[in-house]
Structure formats: C-alpha cells, structure tokens
Amino acid sequence: MATYCVRRYLGLLKGRASLGWQKRKFADSARSDEAPDPTAVVTDLCRSRHFITGEQVEKDSLLAGWHGYGPLGMVLRRNLAEQWWRSMTTSRGQVFGLSTLHQAGSGGRKALKLVDGEALAVILKEKGQSVEQLTAEVERLLGASATLRTELLQGALEQYAHSLSLVNRKLPFGLAEMGVCYQPAAPDSEGTTRTGEAMLASLVWFSSPRTAGQWLDFWVRHRLQWWRKFATGASNFSSSDFQDECGTKGTRLYYSFPWGREPIETLQSLGDRELLETHQDNRAKLQCRDERKTVIPHVLSVSGNMDRGVLAYLYDSLQQLKKVDSKQRLHQRKVLKLHPSLAPVKVALDMGRGPTLELRQVPYRGGDAHSTSRLTVSPERNLSRFAQC
C-alpha cells in the first residue's frame, strides 16, 4: 500500500513538471511570434541603411526635424520632391515656380528671429539699467536681427503683383516653391531647446471668390490621390477638416503612424485678407480678371512637409518577408519596399559566391551610358541588401 502511494505521488509530480514545461514552451513560442515594435524596426533600418542620421533618431526628434539624411535618405527625399514639383508645375501650365530668400520680408505669420547670443548677453549683463531701458535695448536688438521663415506662403504673396504679367491678369494661377523652413523651438528629451528644420513644398493658388470653394475641393482630392499613389497601404493616408485659432477653415492630410495620425499637408482657403495685408490694401495693384469681372483674388494655400512625407513612406514600405529553407528553418527579413519612383536604389546585383569576375566588369563597361541615364551602378556586394528598396 505504501509503495502504491509513493508511486502515485511521484507520478503526480512528474505530470505537474511536464505541464509546467509545456506552459513555458508555449509562452516562449508566443513571445517569439509577437510582432516587433514597428517604430523601433524602422528606426534601426533607417540607421543601418543610411537613410536618416542624427544623435537622437526617435519619434519625437523625427517629427520635430532634428535629424539629417544619409546617402539613401537624401536621394529618397529628392525623388519625392521631384515628384511633387512635376505634379504641380510641369504638368500644369498656370503654375509658376519661384524661389525666395530664407530671411526675406516678414518671414510669415509665425516668424522666428535669429538673435546674436553674445550681443544679448551684453545687454542683460549691463548694470544700472531700468526695466524700460532694458526692454528698449532688447527690442532694438530684435529689430536688427534677421527673420527666419517658418512657411513659404509669405514669399508667394509678396511675389503676386510681379507675377500678374505672366498670366495677363487672368485667374486662376498659382505660385509654387520648395525650400527649408524653421520650426518653433521646443525642448528635446534631454531638456535642451532646439529649433527644427523642415523641407516644405508650397502651392499658393489664386482664384476668383466665386470659385474658391470649388478649387479647395479639387486640390484636396488631387493631393490625397497623389500621396496615395506611391503608398502600399493607401488607406493610411486620410483627410480631415479643421479650423485654426483665427477661425480659418481648411483640410489636413494625415498619415496613420503606429503611434497615431500626424499631418503631412495642410490646405487652407485664406480669402483675400492675407493678400491685402501684404500689399497695404492697394486694391488697384491686386485686381485681376475673372471672365468679364475685375476682382481681388482669394488665396488657397497648399503646404506639404516633405520630411514628414519621407517618414510616412518609410513606415508604409516596411515589410517582413518569411522563407522556409530546405531544412525547414524559418528565415525572416525586414525590407523597405518603396515605390519605384521614390526608391533610391532601382536595381541591385547580388554576386553571391563563385567566379564573379565577368559580373564585376559590367558596371565599368556601361559606365558612360549609366551616367547619362542618371543611374548609379556599383559592384559592391553589400549593396545587395538594398535590393528591396
């Protein structure tokens, strides 16, 4: 009887141990099958594959414009900018390109001042000043400081009157520009206040008050279709109406990142207020022809963030490929499948192992033809990992 009890007790212990081992096995299997954080995956890929550079490559720094671009990232942004410029200017006869200075004019509605830090320190350290004197000195310094633009709208408004001769004062027409703008200062993760940079693409469309609403609807549809054209998951791009603090209505285009939606482009119908303020209410100077009527045009602003667009397409292109080899081993690869029009590398040649002497001669034999076609060819083996770009 005692022997039977001991055997039964040992059997129960063995069953519990086996059950515990199976639970741990299933738990480990579940953890291994969990999808990795896409934000971390894209960040690691962008660093290792030379898309994005910077001391802090994370979500907040990418959105604030505190990062730079490596060789592949620079080409990706250039390709995106070229596609934007072609869709706005080359394919439309009534859109004209322009380029304004970074420090010209008033700099926009939310301009930043470039202040000499040493001059400001001298003013603050000077003793015996009253509050009124200190305020006057600081205001004088700010008045003499350069203005950094935060948007491209102001430059187009200032060039409006000079552009009327291009269209014989006939509406509608637009002015397009692309350039670097500076973002409002904000503290980073270490508490240091920094000013970000962003490559903005702007179209300022001038139309009659009668058709301003129709043009807003047209450009919202056009811009949303354009962003979706290069995406793998087109539904991640969406639009939503909004109203700013001044009561101006408009539409924002968003991309759904893993952490939530972020705006990539803003469209606003500004009326004629901004144009009149820029030209000191000189109505005779601003009048255009709408069929047989003479009107002051309404302004439609389309402003897209190219850096935010690059980030959106990098997240959109992330794919994880799985392959089982002949020994039933699972291999996983994380690749960025970008649209061919945006991809920095169009074709990559994996030479593998073995006799590759003839393959290595291919880039050099067709060097002249490749350069005239704007194709870059390299015999390096490590380029093969960019094949999926």
**Who's near 200: CB < 8 A, 6+ residues apart?**
151, 152, 178, 179, 180, 181, 303, 304, 305, 306
pLDDT of residue 224: 97
pLDDT of residue 383: 43
pLDDT of residue 240: 96
How confident is the prediction along the chain (389 residues), in pLDDT tens digits per residue? 545 454 555 455 455 544 444 444 434 444 444 556 777 888 888 888 888 887 777 777 788 888 889 999 999 999 999 999 999 987 677 999 999 887 655 545 566 777 888 888 888 888 878 888 888 888 888 878 778 888 999 999 999 999 999 999 999 999 999 999 988 766 666 666 677 889 999 999 999 999 999 999 999 999 999 999 999 999 999 999 998 888 888 999 999 999 999 999 999 999 999 999 999 989 999 999 988 889 999 999 999 999 999 999 999 998 887 877 777 787 778 888 899 999 988 766 655 555 555 665 655 555 555 555 555 555 544 443 443 44
How does strand 95-97 pair with strand 173-182? parallel
Distance in angstroms (rounded) separating the CA atoms of residues 55 and 156: 35
Nearest to 298 by CA among 322, 272, 317: 272
DSSP-assigned beta bridge partners for residue 335: 319
Residue 200 burial (C-beta neighbours within 10 Å; 0-12, 13-18, 19+): buried
Q: Which amino acid is at 206?
A: F
Q: Where on the phi/psi map is residue 379: left (φ > 0), alpha (ψ -120 to 50), or beta?
A: alpha
Q: What is the 3-state secondary structure (H, E, C) of the chain?
A: CHHHHHHHHHHHHHHHHHHHHHHHHHHHHHHHHCCCCHHHHHHHHHHHCCCEECCCCCHHHHHHCCCEECHHHHHHHHHHHHHHHHHHHHCCCCEEECCCCCCCCCCCCCCEEECCHHHHHHHHHCCCCCHHHHHHHHHHHHHHCEEECCCCHHHHHHHHHHHHHHCCCECCEEEEEEEEEECCCEECCCCCEECCEEEEEEEEEEECHHHHHHHHHHHHHHHHHHHHHCCCCHHHEEEEEEECCCCCEEEEEEEEECCEEEEEEEEEEEECHHHHHHCCCCHHHHCEEECCEEECCEEEEEEEEHHHHHHHHHHHHEEEEEEECCCCCEEEEEEECCCCCCCCCCCCCCCCCCCCHHHHHHHHHCHHHHHHCCCCCCCCHHHHHHCCC
Yes or no: say if 325 and 91 are a contact pair by the CB < 8 Å rule: no
pLDDT of residue 92: 75
**Who's near 352: CB < 8 A, 6+ residues apart?**
none
Assessment of whether the complete model's pTM goes beyond 0.75: yes
pLDDT of residue 348: 64
pLDDT of residue 145: 77
pLDDT of residue 376: 55
Yes or no: say if 256 and 236 are a contact pair by the CB < 8 Å rule: yes
**Who's near 227: CB < 8 A, 6+ residues apart?**
237, 253, 255, 264, 265, 309, 312
